[in-house]
């Protein structure tokens, strides 16, 4: 983490709220992922934080990218455009997967010229891809257990495993090429059994489609869900990697190419917010503080991501349980009703760690309040 004294200095110089992105931490997280999962190519989930400077750092580190919209595609594509034209198309295939299973017709039309790798999970999507993006390579997205995940995804996406082989065969019969299988165990998954079950389901489907003669299906995309260390209850990444590597070795021949879509794991710990106390009051006997950032801004993950970010004070002293609110007029703009804080005065600074994922990416201008200023350090 960036030293607290440095954070205070930066905030005083740059103004607040200030969202600080530590690129040394980004590189460290990517290196840890590659160290513990050497067989897996990491496709950073751009939606976790689409700041172009973050994408650039991970691109230089060797990451590929999971995009789910054309604006995200273009953020990544600007770096690929520096490659010679004769290699650019193949490089897009290696560097970008469009992993949103449901795509608008206009999106497919725009994607087709890049011959992209895309996901699908139903027959209607096969018909759309055949008509509007016939040059795409396909991955079938499976519905797998999301038990215990902070954000459950299986109710929205994923083909039932019992229909998977038929959907793969249907795509081939439509003249398309299915490259492999994908799944997602849910965001911030601390229940590692989800991965074990999903990998076993995938292995069975590979065998079924190979028995039907489709031996060219050889990519496994294990999605995201890799948990960020928000607190001490989250087991170390190396423990999950040990389980995954064992299942890879047991279930999948070496010719199977394995991808993953880490987002939160790569960027969460790289972001720190510094904000300022702009108001205080005692309500029903409880100390309340108002700061100049909230759930419509950097703390948006409280609403959209079901994540709680703790507010900490730079000031030392005896603490009490306090409420912390954002700056807008909406009562929804509640950051926490139970933060341990010392006695703070107007103008005092507070900070929140591990707030790099699904936070600033969802900031708005609600009520006229702008998002936090972004500062990149250790570039």
Determine contact, residues 73/106, Cβ cutoff 8 Å: no
pTM above 0.75, yes or no: yes
pLDDT digits 0-9 by tens, 274-289 = 999 999 999 999 999 9
Residue 201 tokens read as 């389901």
Using the structure block, give the residue that is written with the tokens 């970010």. 309
What CA–CA distances, in Å, run from 358 to 81, 145, 362, 367? 27, 22, 6, 21
Question: Using alpha carbons only, how large is the chain's radius of gyration in Å?
Answer: 22
Q: Which CATH number fits domain 23-268: 3.30.420.40, 3.20.20.10, 3.60.40.10, 2.40.160.40?
A: 3.20.20.10
Counting every residue written for the chain, the total comes to 379
pLDDT band at 82 (very low <50, low <70, confident <90, very high): low
Q: Which CATH class is domain 4-19+269-377?
A: mainly beta
**Rounded to 5 degrees, what angle do the CA atoms 320, 323, 329 make?**
155
Determine contact, residues 307/229, Cβ cutoff 8 Å: no
Catalytic residue (choose from 288, 307, 322, 329): 329
pLDDT digits 0-9 by tens, 219-264 = 999 999 999 999 989 999 999 999 999 999 999 999 999 999 999 9
pLDDT band at 273 (very low <50, low <70, confident <90, very high): very high
Predicted confidence (pLDDT) at residue 88 exceeds the cutoff of 50:
no
Of 89 and 51, more confident: 51
Which pLDDT score is estimated for 5?
95
Which pLDDT score is estimated for 152?
79
Cis amide linkage into residue 17, ω under 30° from 0: yes
Distance CA 207, CA 253 (A): 11
pLDDT digits 0-9 by tens, 94-120 = 789 999 999 999 999 999 999 889 999
Q: Report the candidate in 184, 178, 246, 186 with the shortest Cα–Cα distance to residue 208.
A: 178
What CA–CA distances, in Å, run from 28 to 22, 49, 53, 245, 260? 10, 17, 16, 21, 17
The DSSP code sequence of 81-122 is TTS-HHHHHHHHHHHEEE--SS--HHHHHHHGGG--EEEE-S
Determine contact, residues 171/190, Cβ cutoff 8 Å: no
Determine contact, residues 135/92, Cβ cutoff 8 Å: no
Distance CA 308, CA 49 (A): 17
Give me the chain's average pLDDT, please.
Answer: 94
**Domain spans of the chain?**
4-19+269-377, 23-268
Residue 329 is a catalytic residue = yes
Domains 4-19+269-377 and 23-268 equal at CATH topology level? no
Q: What percent of the chain has pLDDT over 90?
A: 89
Predicted confidence (pLDDT) at residue 170 exceeds the cutoff of 50:
yes
pLDDT band at 79 (very low <50, low <70, confident <90, very high): confident
pLDDT band at 92 (very low <50, low <70, confident <90, very high): low
Among 92-101, 105-114, 191-200, 337-346, which is the least confidently predicted range? Answer: 92-101
pLDDT band at 86 (very low <50, low <70, confident <90, very high): very low
């Amino acid at each position: 983490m960036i030293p607290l004294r440095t954070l205070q200095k930066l905030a005083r110089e740059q103004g607040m709220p200030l969202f600080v992105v530590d690129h040394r931490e980004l590189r460290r997280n990517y290196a840890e992922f590659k160290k513990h999962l050497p067989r897996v190519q990491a496709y950073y989930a751009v939606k976790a934080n689409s700041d172009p400077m973050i994408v650039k750092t991970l691109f230089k580190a060797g990451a590929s990218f999971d995009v789910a919209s054309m604006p995200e595609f273009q953020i990544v594509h600007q770096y690929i455009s520096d490659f010679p034209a004769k290699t650019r198309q193949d490089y897009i295939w290696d560097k970008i997967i469009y992993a949103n299973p449901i795509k608008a017709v206009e999106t497919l039309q725009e994607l087709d010229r890049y011959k992209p790798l895309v996901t699908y999970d139903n027959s209607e999507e096969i018909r759309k891809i055949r008509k509007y993006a016939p040059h795409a390579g396909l991955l079938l997205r499976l519905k797998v257990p999301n038990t215990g995940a902070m954000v459950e995804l299986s109710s929205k996406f994923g083909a039932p495993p019992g229909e998977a082989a038929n959907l793969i065969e249907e795509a081939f019969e439509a003249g398309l090429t299915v490259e492999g299988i994908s799944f997602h165990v849910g965001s911030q998954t601390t229940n590692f059994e989800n991965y074990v079950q999903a990998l076993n389901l995938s292995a069975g489907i590979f065998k079924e489609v190979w028995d039907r003669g489709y031996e060219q299906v050889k990519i496994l995309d294990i999605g995201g869900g890799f948990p960020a260390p928000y607190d001490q209850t989250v087991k170390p990444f190396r423990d999950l990697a040990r389980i995954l590597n064992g299942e890879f070795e047991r279930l999948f021949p070496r010719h199977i190419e394995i991808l993953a879509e880490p987002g939160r794991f790569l960027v969460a710990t790289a972001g720190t917010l510094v904000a300022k106390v702009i108001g205080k009051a005692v309500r029903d006997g409880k100390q309340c503080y108002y700061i100049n950032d909230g759930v419509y801004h950097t703390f948006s993950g409280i609403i959209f991501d079901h994540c709680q970010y703790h507010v900490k004070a730079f000031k030392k002293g005896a603490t009490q349980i306090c409420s912390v609110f954002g700056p807008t007029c909406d009562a929804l703009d509640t950051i926490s009703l139970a933060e341990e804080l010392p006695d703070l005065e107007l103008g005092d600074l507070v900070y929140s760690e591990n707030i790099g994922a699904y936070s600033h990416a969802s900031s708005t201008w609600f009520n006229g309040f702008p998002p936090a200023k972004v500062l990149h350090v250790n570039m």
